[in-house]
Structure 1
Amino acid sequence: MKYFLSLLLTFLLCPLHAQKEAWREEYRQVMDFYEGLAAVWHNNGKWGFVNEKGKIVIPIEFDGVDSFDDGVCRVVNNNLYGLIDKKGKFIVPCKYKLIGFCLEGCLSVRDATTGKEGFIDKTGKIVVPIKYDAVDRFFDGLAWVYKKNIGCGYVNATGKEVIPLQYDYGWAFERGVTSVKKNNKWAFINKKNEPLTPFKYDNAGPFVNGISIVTQKDHYGFVNTQGKEIIPLIYENAKDFSEGLAAVKKDGKWGYIDTTGKVVIPFTYSSVDPFDDEGTAVVSRYDAIFVIDKTGKCVQYCEELERISAQKPKKGWQTQYEFVGEPKNGVIVVGNNAQQGLVNKQGKVLIPIQYSRVTLVNKIALVRKDQKEGAFSLKGEPLVPPIYDMLTIEHFDKDDENSDFVFFTRREIYFGVLSKKGKVIVPEEFYNNVDTKYLKRGTIRVFRNDKVGLYNLEGKQLLPMIFDSIEPFVYENDNETEVVFEGKSFHIDKTGKCVRDCQNAPKY
């Protein structure tokens, strides 16, 4: 009887479910529901909102939308941002170049004409004047603000500069404390701008779960929100606390400590990640990558660990090493003490054993040391110093790994491009995006705040970053390409010289 009722209920509900969901077929995409509304993307390329019955409640007329958050939603038309309420009524018309997420009742905005930034509240009222060159979100009642050639400070939600613009840099407040930089040294201050420590640290990270990583003379330790060094600066490297444990490096190997500084998982790993909310972390030992729990026990991909532990007996020069990889392109990755290097088939050292990882990619050795990446040739010639947060190889032909290539770099918020010999092609600057899609055509586009510029592969800037759009010689036989400036187009050749419609080209 129970089975019959279940079957009957399923039979009755299926047509209702199908009818309920039929409206979804009208749209190219339906986003998740938030606050009773879901964004939908129509076949006409526009966005709007429907209720849970699929009825359109906000017209499909926007170029882009977010989800609703606390009754408001960011929308985009003609590359300008605005705010609407749940009835589709504009709180703020689409007039800003950018509107940030709502946090603590405030949203950052960027003026479309001046490029200056400030904050509005959820009614659209300007609460922090739009006069800064950069701002961050509100945290702990204060927001970081910055002016060029002056410095950074902090404002409250009324727009008052409660901490003057006197610092070179700073992080968000947490529990009434933050770290700030001045004259190339870091210290900790409270909301009254009172120092909790001297300016003595070479670096001080943002607070994560009430603890900040600090460094002095390449030694790492931890400071709490009272400015107290709860773990002394004795480590070679460190990562933020997560799930009560922090990864730290000592004598070339990584392990984990708790908030008292006690070693919980011994120093045995080549590289480590923080623990996730399931209590596991991805770690590596030489080229074996596996997962451990908070006791250090392997719980996933343990065959990789077993493979490393059960290496075959070695002969000759190989007996010097704990780890000997497979030969590739005439070289072999080797390791001792959780660090790696590179030798040739005769055992001659090409790259010394001092890196947490050596990866062979297309006759290049990519190396990683203290979370920084660099590159060598397979002859051991240094090509790129290990100073980058990210270093990848970008091939001219995406389908051919033997094609020519460049290095794509990232360091903090700065991107760049280097030749295969390590020469700078695109210098490190603040770019929203660096497009290496058209390497085969000899060009690289760079973007910042909706403007685009163009470099060639010799490192010459063909066009400064002031243009609306550039189509970089899309086809192989193209000798010229279109550039748009303030809505008007002209054409350039591969040297960047204007060749057509030059009356529309600005002077640059």
Structure 2
Amino acid sequence: MEILILIYNEIKVEDYRTILCKTGVIDLDGNTLISPEYNRIFLYEHSFAKLRKDKIYGIANLASKEINMFKTLQIVRMWDLDKFGRCLYSTDWAYDKKKEEWKGTKGVLNFDGVIVPPNKYDRIILLENGLIKVYKNNFFGLLDKHGKVLLPLKYSYISDFKEKYASICLGGKRNKKEPYNIIEGKWGIIDDRGNIVEKCVNDEELVIPIKDSNSIVAEDGTNYHKPTILLSDYIPEEIISYSNDYYYNDYYDDDCYNGYSKYGGYNGYDDYTIDEAFDGDPNLTWNCD
């Protein structure tokens, strides 16, 4: 990907804070890819960018210079984009202070619009090969990149894809002592088109030979590519005092800061999310492992 530069059309100073406003993107030749009119722009190592203007989110295709702002979706949370320009989004995501957990329904969005509507599945996992693994009522299924069903919701387990293949299990159940261990059931193998390569007749999970043992799945659509601002937009500022919770929460908001969120923004939780959960307390930490 070519080197891109974030530009700002307005700089404000409020309460000793430097605020960069009206953000845009240009290339090294000075060509404007995104006009400087957005509150936030999130750049990645691929050709798609996430935008926010006031309370409206959108996706930009930097290769074609096209932008789609989702004005009618009322998105309250939009996670990071993968290399296909897809992301998880929610229209009802909120923090339950009593239970100390985030709640809401998730769907899948790409540049052209909604692929999977919210509240259809309990869990959605975007895979790096373009497929979508879904989970509901203790069963797994598989969708293609357009949201069309490849495997119905009837499998006890669908593994990560290793190159072109993944393991599947019918009739199995989770070991309560080891939540990620599937016991009983019959095992088979599928390919990356959803075709059954080995029927589910085996008592044990079949070994899939691979050249590269690294996992290529990204849980919940947030680990694909670390968002990258390739040229720094850093402006020296005074040392931040963490004694003022309002200052702390407002400053960090939900943006990338110098190319990487210190609170693990690329593991599904951005700065704004963490600050809300921890009430702006900098002494608390977030374990991304």
Q: Give the number of the structure with larger relative contact order, counting CA–CA contacts within 8 Å between residues 6 or more apart.
A: 2
Larger Rg computed on CA atoms: 1
Normalising by the residue count of structure 1, what TM-score does the alignment of the two structures yield? 0.31
Normalising by the residue count of structure 2, what TM-score does the alignment of the two structures yield? 0.49
